[in-house]
Amino acid sequence: MSTLWIVDKHTRKPLEDLLYTLQSVPGGNGGNGGESSGRSEGPTAADTELLDAYSRAVMGVAEKVGPSVVAIGVRKQAGRNGAEGAGSGVMLTPDGFVLTNNHVVQDSAELEVVLTDGRAFAAQVIGTDPATDLAVIRIADGGLPAVELGDSEALRVGQLVIAIGNPLGFQSTVSAGVISALGRSLRSQSGRLIDNVIQTDVALNPGNSGGPLVDSRGRVIGINTAMIHMAQGISFAVPIDTGRWVVSELVMHGKVRRAYLGIGAQSRPVNRRLQHRLDLRSPSVVEVAAVEPGGPAAGAGLLRGDLIYALADSLVATVDDLHRLLTKWPAGTAVEVRLLRAGRQERIAVVPGRG
């Protein structure tokens, strides 16, 4: 994949390096060697060049990725005229697999996908995952423009990102900004936490949910999922590394299979003495509130009232911690549950279920 290069008088630098050096450009925002004339001056040639470079980067990404971003029309009842909801999606493969948000297609009776060239197709839901707000749908066609996927683990705060949507079809909407924070957690509609969420300052347009968040080289690094309207345009995207795993599960099995213990649980605070005794980082553990009859936990001997403080070698303080550790636990592999029962520390091996 070639890097976008900007040519100046003396050297060639990648766009992101050039933007980073903005304030050190002579005559730019850094001033004349640190001196100020005390009056406002118009943009210099260097400023203009940098702004043009930024514009060329965004336009290049829009031209490259735009044809792969689709509009999704949703009807809640079959046979009705016109869409009752709308969102965006991104073409993953040339044979019609599209990644979007679960909340875009949830409870849909009919789906229509519209490409930027005006072609429209009926779509079927391959699978949905409310826990990550992701879904895969498919249209029956081939030779479609698919995107290139990036690596969300390699992202850095301050990196240029572009959000692309296609809520109405025929033309993409484009917004640019930077990554504000990484590693955020966002509560999904199912109640589970979505981890490693990407926070940006990109202003999402209505109907952009399900569209891609891409880097300056046009690689998809996230799926736009939410915007906080009262917080000056803070937007969130599910990282594409999570998307890869979810897509593989949905395409192969129609759902995301997660390991489970078969318990009802809640967080319970503990006193400092017990926290010190168990060498806990947080002053809370997970209390078993109910045990599912015939489930993995019941078969292994877990009891109501047990206080779980570790799973394998990882400490747990909340139910979210349990979910996070069990999400990708290998099927059929026993996990050691460390717990406190009637004041005694015990270790019980449980083979989690999969469902």
Q: Please report, for the chain, the start and end positions of each structural domain, with discontinuous segments joined by +.
A: 5-33+42-66, 68-139, 149-166+176-251, 259-354
* Catalytic, out of 129, 133, 215, 321: 133
Q: Among 27-31, 97-101, 222-226, which stretch is predicted with the lowest mean pLDDT?
A: 27-31
Q: Which two tokens stand for residue 7?
A: 């040519």
Mean pLDDT score across all residues of the chain: 83
Task: Tell me what the mean pLDDT of segment 141-154 comes to.
Answer: 92
pLDDT of residue 12: 42
CA dist., res. 18 & res. 91, Å (int) = 31
pLDDT of residue 213: 96
* Catalytic, out of 68, 88, 175, 209: 209
What CATH number does the domain located at 259-354 have? 2.30.42.10
| pLDDT tens, residue by residue, 70-87 | 999 988 876 666 557 789
CA dist., res. 113 & res. 120, Å (int) = 6
pLDDT of residue 230: 54
Give the global pTM: 0.75
Task: Tell me what the mean pLDDT of segment 204-218 comes to.
Answer: 89
Q: Which CATH superfamily is domain 68-139 in?
A: Trypsin-like serine proteases (2.40.10.10)
pLDDT of residue 246: 92
The confidence band for 266, taking pLDDT boundaries of 50, 70 and 90, is: very high
Known catalytic residue at 323:
no
Q: Shortest CA distance to 196 belongs to which of 153, 245, 161, 227?
A: 153
Q: Which CATH superfamily is domain 149-166+176-251 in?
A: Trypsin-like serine proteases (2.40.10.10)
Task: Tell me what the mean pLDDT of segment 93-111 comes to.
Answer: 92
Known catalytic residue at 276:
no
Long-range contacts of 320-324 (CB under 8 A, 24+ apart): 320/185, 320/192, 320/193, 321/286, 322/261, 322/265, 322/286, 323/192, 323/193, 323/258, 324/193, 324/195
Equal fold, 68-139 vs 149-166+176-251: yes
- What is the DSSP secondary structure assignment for residue 32, as one 8-state letter? B
Task: Tell me what the mean pLDDT of segment 101-109 comes to.
Answer: 90
Q: Phi and psi at residue 290, in whole multiples of 5°?
A: -160, 150
CA dist., res. 133 & res. 355, Å (int) = 18
Q: What are the C-alpha distances in Å from 294 to residues 109, 341, 354?
A: 36, 21, 14
* Catalytic, out of 68, 88, 103, 175: 103
Longest dimension (CA), the chain: 79
Known catalytic residue at 103:
yes
